[in-house]
Chain A
Amino acid sequence: MNWFLVILTISKTHLLSRIKQTMVAALGVTFGIGAFIILMSFMSGLNGLLDGLILNRTPHIHIYNEIKPNTKQPIHFFDELSANLNVVHSIKPKQTQLKIHNAQPILNYLKSDPKVKAVLPQVKSQVFYVAGSTELNGVVTGIKAKDESTFFNFNEYIVGGTPDNLENNMNGILLGIGAAKKMSLKIGDRVQLATVKGEIIPLKIVGFFQSGLAEVDNVQSYVNIKTAQRLLGESTSFLTDINIKLFNIEDAIPMAKAISKQFNLTAIDINTANAQFETGTSVRNLITYAVSIALLIVAGFGIYNILNMMIYEKMNDIAILKATGFSGFDVKLIFISQAVIIGFVGGVFGLILGYIVSTIISYLPFETEALPTIKTFPVNFEITYYIIGIVFAMVSTFIAGYLPARKAQDIDPVEIIRGQ
């Protein structure tokens, strides 16, 4: 006969004979844990969405050839004046090309690096969109649409088309939705692009690009990388930007430094580009945990209260159990196990409640200009939160039960029996 089973049988009988009190205590835990799950799922879903806006869209390292004046002017080579403060007026950058020199070997080198997940070349160019007599200023980026979708979720910003449309069509364009509205163009229409050099090329609209930022949507369009090269009258080795996605985002800073040193190019890492985004995430997480813990502490006090009252009611039972050979530890275990059972049952129902409400939330409509593909609230159904929830339920009820249970352990049966 298992001794622990005897203890559990006693706890069970105590709990079932006061089913109402037990249920009230368990409900406290249920609502606490339920609210925790809902808050965490919803908040982390939103967090993930907002982080994704930056993390998914921004390359971990962005390499390009920046036009800027040389920081080492001729006077700096003159050793005798190195101790002086030299002022050179009106420094201008040297006439140079925007393209990345020796782009193909650099691409191959980066692709062979084991830390690198993907390397995506781009060609950027200034253009004018010509519609009738109006000319709109614009930027066209030539991309490998399929890879951009795989690694940078590019497909989430396409309205009315797919990345494949661009990948397969040398004469297709994903026009910025703002520019399209201004020129009142529909999918299937043709738009003429005038390059800086004066050439005019007609392209067919295969879809719209919508980032949610009006300024971007008014100018930015995407074409196939080969189309962009042709637009500029350049060969297939002409690249203006290289975007890198890493397996581990932590590698971005050292790698960006190494690249800019090695190839004499500008390499911007994601942390430098978006320094503030982590702060927002951690503050939101902090608030969520603080609210959840407050809820669970309230539930814990409820359990503490109920067990305390129960122990006063059960003084006689405790005395008789001790008189018939149950040790103080056994009695303590009886009450702690009651608390933990309340915590476990309440916690499991809390998880179920949390799951149901989260599911309902995930079906509520949520439409935002910034994310054309998102139609409902983002909810994160990560199993970790459910594990944390049930563990927290049991730990907090254990603590709430421990204090009254220790009191029960110390009750002197003689005092109770004499007191009658």
Chain B
Amino acid sequence: MNVLEAKNINKFFRGAVDFQALKNINFSIKKGEFTSIMGKSGCGKSTLLYILSTMDTDYEGELYINEEKITGKTSNELAYIRNKHIGFVFQFHYLLPEFSILENVMLPAKKLGEKSLQEIEHDAIEKLKLLHIDDQALKLASQISGGQKQRVAIARALINNPTIIMGDEPTGNLDSHNADNVFNIFEELCHEQKLSLLIVTHDKEFADKTDRIIEMGDGMIIRQ
């Protein structure tokens, strides 16, 4: 089963001179696949990720998540899809600094509103344990180190048991020790929980360890 499928995706940056950022992107990701997107800066890999993540809706072509067509849905429906089916990890950690670690992890589940507060809290602590950071749960997000923040961000991405986890250079801002740590967590999630992962990176070492590499150049897929 394809958890994510892109059909003929084209993206233009409009301006005095139109610039085509993505040209005829076609690919799909199966359940439980650990995929990385490689490419040089400016090749359009982040642009592609934001389209796949449903945050950018200004494109041509069709996008499917769980074999359901996403293209053309309203922004509220897209927000729901992001909430339920997609987990995000960014290069910068993007936690809400005034909230505790636990609150940060719980927020997307509270928004989804499918479980009671006790269940959400229990789940959040489980996810934090999975990432070995449960001892920091009550600290404020602004009080922990970068590596820890990234692990919290991963825990937050996992809280609603999403179909796919997307990462935009999640190790780009970490030292090699923490980067290895994050990779190991991803691999564990992929193999043990059959989670699909799509990670944009230009760290060759990181990409080589993944199941599948999609290489991009000048807005096109060169190799997959």
Contact = CB atoms under 8 A, between A and B. Distances in A.
B46 interface: yes
Contacts of A413: 55
19 contacts: A1-B116, A3-B113, A6-B107, A10-B107, A13-B98, A13-B103, A320-B95, A320-B96, A321-B96, A323-B55, A324-B107, A325-B79, A327-B75, A328-B75, A412-B55, A413-B55, A414-B56, A418-B46, A420-B91
A124 B101 CA distance: 88
Identify whether the interface residues of A are mostly helix, strand, loop, or mixed: helix
B80 interface: yes
B82 interface: yes
A14 interface: yes
Interface residues of A, number: 29
A324 B82 contact: yes
A316 to B, nearest CB: 6
B110 interface: yes
Given A1-B120, A327-B75, A414 B96 contact: no
Contacts of B94: 316, 319-320, 323, 417
A135 interface: no
Given A6-B111, A317-B96, A324 B88 contact: yes
Contacts of B99: 13
Given A13-B98, A324-B108, A325-B82, A417 B115 contact: no
A3 B111 contact: yes
Contacts of A320: 94-96
B55 to A, nearest CB: 5
Interface in A313-363: 316-317, 319-330
Interface in B75-97: 75-76, 79-80, 82-84, 88, 90-92, 94-97
Nearest to A417: B90
Contacts of B110: 1, 6, 9
Interface of A: 1-3, 6, 9-10, 13-14, 17, 316-317, 319-330, 412-414, 417-418, 420
B90 to A, nearest CB: 6
B78 to A, nearest CB: 8
A420 B108 contact: no
Given A1-B113, A1-B115, 16 more contacts: A2-B113, A6-B107, A6-B113, A9-B110, A317-B96, A321-B96, A322-B55, A323-B55, A323-B82, A324-B82, A324-B83, A325-B84, A325-B112, A325-B160, A413-B55, A417-B168
Contacts of B120: 1
B156 interface: yes
Nearest to B114: A1
Choose among A319, A321, A324 the residue with the greatest number of B CB atoms under 10 Å from its CB: A324
Choose among A319, A320, A412 the residue with the greatest number of B CB atoms under 10 Å from its CB: A320
B138 interface: no
B79 A326 contact: yes
A9 B103 CA distance: 10
A316 B107 CA distance: 16
Contact of A324 (B46, B91, B97, B156): B156
Interface string B95-129: 11111000100011011110111001000000000
A23 B96 CA distance: 22
Contact of A414 (B55, B79, B92): B55
A1 B116 CA distance: 6
B80 A325 contact: yes
Nearest to B113: A1
